[in-house]
Structure 1
Amino acid sequence: MNAGEALLGLMTAIDEHRWDDLEQYLHPQFTCVLVHTNETFSRDEWVRFNAEYPDFDRLVVQEFVGGETEAACRSHVTGRTSTGTAHFQCASFVRVKDGQILHLTEVWTDVNQSPPPGTRLCIGRG
């Protein structure tokens, strides 16, 4: 499996809540770094983190670039809250070894944030 196939397969399994299928995409020496929280996970820790994440709903890949050894995507992720649906964006970058994802870097953010006043011109914001 090349990097693009591995990343899309992993994202589809997450969206479909197929937690037991995640390991097939992940190399035994897999690591994941969450840049925004400075956390690092092993394969087993990352699978458990995803499977146990509270109120996860959907993950939809919106942009994708895939190659033989590296791939990246941007996903829209939703979760259920007591007040409705929470929306997030996630940028994921993978590197493969032996047909499985060896390293994953993710950057998460909330959606619909506003820039600090006076810092930049925002076209299309009302």
Structure 2
Amino acid sequence: MDAATLLARLASVIDAHDWDALPDLLHPDFTCRLVHTGEVFDREQWVRFNADYPGFERMLFKDLVADGDRGVLRAKVVGRGDGGVELVFAVASFATVREGRLVELVEVWADVDQDPPAGTRLA
């Protein structure tokens, strides 16, 4: 598969909580780096991290740009925190494909609906 197909499939598999299908999208040498925490996961660790993430509900595909073996997926991720409070995040996943599978993923996560610093909101 090419980068665009793989990233669209990745979002679909994660949204469906289809953890058994997730490893098939990942190259044996797969790594994922989370920019916001500095964590780096190998293939098995990343599948387990996703499957075990507390409160995860949805990964909603928003945008995709791809060229050859590189691509970027933008998604909205929804989960539940303490007391059932809805948590919403935006994620940009920068991917590299090798031999038809994702070999590298760099993810940049952000909280959604934060208040901007005082005096910075544009009218």
TM-score w.r.t. the length of structure 2 is 0.93
Q: Which residue of 1 aligns with 2:102?
A: 101
Whole-angstrom CA distance in 1 between matches of 2:84 and 2:122: 28
Whole-angstrom CA distance in 1 between matches of 2:35 and 2:121: 27
Deviates more, 1:44-53 or 1:78-87: 78-87
Cα RMSD, aligned residues only: 1.1
Q: Which residue of 1 aligns with 2:2?
A: 2
Q: Which runs of 5+ in 1 are unaligned?
A: none
Q: Deviations over 1:89-114 (max 9, x none)?
A: 11111000001001000011111112
SS of the aligned residue for 2:87 comes to strand
Q: Which residue of 1 aligns with 2:55?
A: 55
Moved over 6 A (4+): none
Q: Which residue of 1 aligns with 2:116?
A: 115
SS of the aligned residue for 1:72 comes to strand
Alignment of 1:1-126 (within 5 A): 1-81=1-81, 82-118=83-119, 120-123=120-123
Whole-angstrom CA distance in 1 between matches of 2:96 and 2:85: 35
Q: Percent identity?
A: 44
1:84: Cα distance to partner? 2.8
1:83: Cα distance to partner? 4.0
Q: Which runs of 5+ in 2 are unaligned?
A: none
Whole-angstrom CA distance in 2 between matches of 1:49 and 1:122: 38
Q: Deviations over 1:23-53 (max 9, x none)?
A: 1110000000000001100000000000000
How many residues were matched structurally? 122
Whole-angstrom CA distance in 2 between matches of 1:60 and 1:9: 12
